[in-house]
Amino acid sequence: MKCADILVIGGGPGGLGAAIEAAKAGASVLLVDENPRMGGQLYKQIHKFFGSQTHYAGQRGFDIADTLIAEAARAGVELLPQTRALGCFDEGQFALLSLANQDATRLRTMKARRVILATGAKENAVAFPGWTLPGVMTAGAAQTLANIYGVLPGKRILILGSGNVGLIVGYQLMQAGAQVLGIVDVLPSVHGYEVHAAKLRRANVPIYLGSTVVEARGETRVQQVIIGQVDACFQPIEGTHQTIECDTVLLAVGLSPRTEIAAMFGCDMTFERRLGGLMPIHDETMCTSNQTIYVCGDLAGVEEASTALDEGRLAGIHAAAACGYGDEARHARVAALQSSLNTLRSGMHGQPRKEAKNDILQLAHRKGIVGETI
Amino acid sequence: MRIYKHPILEIAEAKIVTVYMDSQPIIAHENDSIAAALIASGISVFRHTHKTGEPRGVFCGIGQCADCLVIVNGQPNVRACVTLVKEGMQIQSQSGYGQVGTPL
Amino acid sequence: MTQQEHTAPITDPIICRCEEIRKSEILQAIEMGCRSVTAIKKYTRAGMGVCQGRTCARLIEQILIASGISPQAAVARDKARFPIVPCPISAFNGSDKEDQVDAPSI
């Protein structure tokens, strides 16, 4: 049976950061991801990132993915794309399913001493009548079609949700030649960064605030959408309905952590609305209530690619240290990463996430969840 | 609707492959997912549900939701959004849970 | 103008896309005493379809919370079991005869 010090599940920014640091510390690392290539959602991010140089500011997501994958390969990480983790058994055994059809035996088992879960997040939905019609899809689906496959999901597009995903995807679809008919959000103000909203406003895209999609109608595909204003309880107000003729509705209403594998490992969970809902409790070393399991990235609270990368690096350093790897420099490295995360979690959008993260850490302490000291 | 002009992405010349949706030939690009190829050809209904028979197409686009299920070369329940096209592939829209070995 | 434009909006959306379970059925289950995602699943089949509740669990959570049930109680789910995603039986018998496509069906 194949053995590794550390198994990392999920090859997005969090998983790549974790694998890179653990391998650099000297651990043998296996990184698995179900997609044909590593990089997670970074390949769909064709806009330039903000922040500092250490967070690849000014670079586009797909370039950052290439950089990280190359760094992981140089560090000696064994990369297994098109491989899905199906579960765990006693004594640290894992079942991995290869999705590449050239492999004769597709279900394989392996052993690892520590596991870092970087399974990311999934998109939330809103259920309105007609949301099952073809043409209604998540913003991520539209982003995948346009930015990975070069195919527009539709010609006339309405977006529900004014968070960064809705705003960015809206702008990207306009760049690709689609008509964005509007952004709808129940909130009284735009939820995402103003810099993204400004790009849409400049292009005269209406932003319908305090409104929601009441119904999508069509025979075999969306043909029209009824939107209406909402009251203080987010319920539609009679008489405010208007009809928009469109062929596509995108749902950009937030993300929630993908917790299935963490739940299987018995990691204690909590519900933290500010970080996307149900998620595993973890301490500052990213260790969960199961001492062999570490978490990072959106699974450990939905934030951003840059925070996922830093958290992944933290998890990688600590999991490697728990296996006996790493030198004295790791303490300074951990301190630098924690200060970097603090910087990322500041300002109007970052502060609530910082507070939520602190609450998770305190909950971990109360529950006696403490990773191995390094 | 293919994107032919983009301010950021390089649109590389793609190798063309032919696949079949319900026996109709469809021009696809090599490395297209089945979903991308169908949508590029203006097809948005991929299957009909087992209970009420309502039409469904792409929803999550990343293999999570299982709404884009089609029959591929006689094999039902293939997720169109995460399966790549291949020259000559026979795709059929799926009804309900599909059937193993549905005649082509 | 189609006839549809004159009809009043429908108000009972599907919640579980796979099993086609509507909001009214979820609310009825809550009325019958279901207090968590897992209880609703067993009562209505919402979340028992091909995707295994990946989309609807969160929606059901929201309906439960809106009905006054605490988030910590509402989120209770069944423990994830092996295999955590549906996969073809051929994955277990070492046979790859089924593999006519690049990705196995779910």
B74 CA: distance to closest CA in chain C (Å): 9
User: Which among C13, C75, C79 has the least Cβ separation from residue A129?
Assistant: C13
| Per-residue pLDDT band at C94 (split at 50, 70, 90) | low
Q: Which amino acid is at A141?
A: A
Rounded CA gap, B50 and B39, in Å? 23
CB contact under 8 A, B64 and C49: no
Residue A234's pLDDT band, with cuts at 50, 70 and 90, is confident
In three-state secondary structure terms, C66 is helix
For A250, A256, A372, C57, C70, the CA distances from A166, given in Å and listed in that order, are 8, 16, 40, 22, 29
Cis peptide before C86 (omega within 30 of 0): no
What is the C-alpha to C-alpha distance for residues A108 and C94, in angstroms, rounded to an integer? 10
* CATH annotation of B16-94: 3.10.20.440
Shortest distance, CA C54 to any CA of chain B (angstroms): 7
C57: nearest CA partner in chain A? A124
pLDDT reported for residue A349: 83
Tell if the CB–CB gap between B58 and A150 is shorter than 8 Å: no
User: ipTM score of the complex?
Assistant: 0.94
Q: Is the pLDDT of residue A154 over 50?
A: yes
Alpha carbon of B14: minimum distance to chain C alpha carbons (Å): 19
Residues of A in contact with C91 (CB under 8 A): 97, 106-107
| Residue with more model confidence, B23 or A55 | B23
Looking at residue C2, its pLDDT comes to: 40
Please check the confidence at residue C6 and state whether its pLDDT lies above 70.
no
Residue in this structure with the two tokens 């043909």, named with its chain if needed? A223
Closest by Cβ to B54, choosing from A132, A136, A145: A132
- pLDDT number for residue C104: 46
**Closest Cα in chain B, distance from residue C59 (Å):** 14
Burial label for A231, CB within 10 Å (0-12, 13-18, 19+), is exposed
Instruction: Give dist(CA A61, CA A308) in Å, integer.
Output: 13
Cβ contact, residue pair A144, B40, below 8 Å: no
pLDDT averaged over chain C? Answer: 82
Q: What whole-number percentage of chain A has pLDDT above 90? A: 80
Report yes or no: A273 and C71 within 8 Å, Cβ to Cβ.
Answer: yes
Kindly tell me if the per-residue pLDDT of C24 is higher than 70. Answer: yes
Closest-CA residue in chain B for C55?
B65
At the second CATH level, the architecture of C12-77 is Orthogonal Bundle (1.10)
Query: Which residues of B fall within a CB distance of 8 Å from C21?
Result: none
At residue A101, φ and ψ (nearest 5 deg) are -75, -10
pLDDT of residue B57 exceeding 50: yes
- Would you say residue C4 has pLDDT above 60? no
- Contact between B3 and A177 using a beta-carbon 8 Å cutoff: yes
pLDDT at C96 (0 to 100): 47
- Whether the predicted pLDDT of A355 surpasses 90: yes
Q: Is residue A177 helix, strand or coil?
A: coil
Residue C102 has pLDDT above 60, yes or no: no
For residues B9-30, give the mean pLDDT. Answer: 92
Chain A residues touching residue C103 (CB < 8 angstroms): 99, 101
DSSP A277-340: EEEE---TT-B-SSTTEEE-GGGGS---HHHHHHHHHHHHHHHHHHTT---THHHHHHHHHHHH
By C-alpha distance, the chain B residue nearest A258 is: B64
Mean pLDDT computed over every residue of chain A: 93
Residue A271 CB contacts under 8 Å (≥ 6 apart), including other chains: A277, A278, A279, C71, C72, C75
Q: What is the pLDDT of residue B100?
A: 66
Q: Return the pLDDT at A232.
A: 87
In this complex, the chains that touch C, judged by 3 or more CB pairs closer than 8 A, are A, B
- B72 neighbourhood in chain C, CB within 8 Å: 100-101, 105
**Tokens standing for residue A187:** 């909130």
pLDDT top residue among B103 and A137: A137
* pLDDT at residue number B104: 52
Q: Are C87 and B59 in contact (CB under 8 A)?
A: no
Is pLDDT above 50 for A107? yes
Residues of chain C that touch chain A, judged by Cβ-Cβ distance less than 8 Å:
2, 4-5, 9-15, 17, 23, 54-55, 58-59, 61, 71-72, 75, 77, 79-85, 87, 90-92, 94, 96, 99, 101-104
Q: What pLDDT sits at residue C8?
A: 55
Chain B nearest-CA distance from A133, in A, is 6
Residue A325: the pLDDT is: 96
Average pLDDT over residues A116-120: 97
| Greater pLDDT, A148 or A99 | A148
| Cβ–Cβ gap C20/B72 under 8 Å | no
| Cα separation values, A172 from A31, A150, A179, A198, A216, Å | 30, 12, 11, 14, 23
* Greater pLDDT, C90 or A316: A316
Domain ranges of chain B: 16-94
Domain borders along chain C are: 12-77
d(CA B10, nearest CA chain A) in Å = 10
Contact: A269, C80; criterion CB under 8 Å: no
Which of B20, B64, B81 has the highest number of chain C CBs within 10 A, making it the mutation to test binding with C? B64
Asked if the Cβ–Cβ distance from B72 to C49 is below 8 Å, we say no
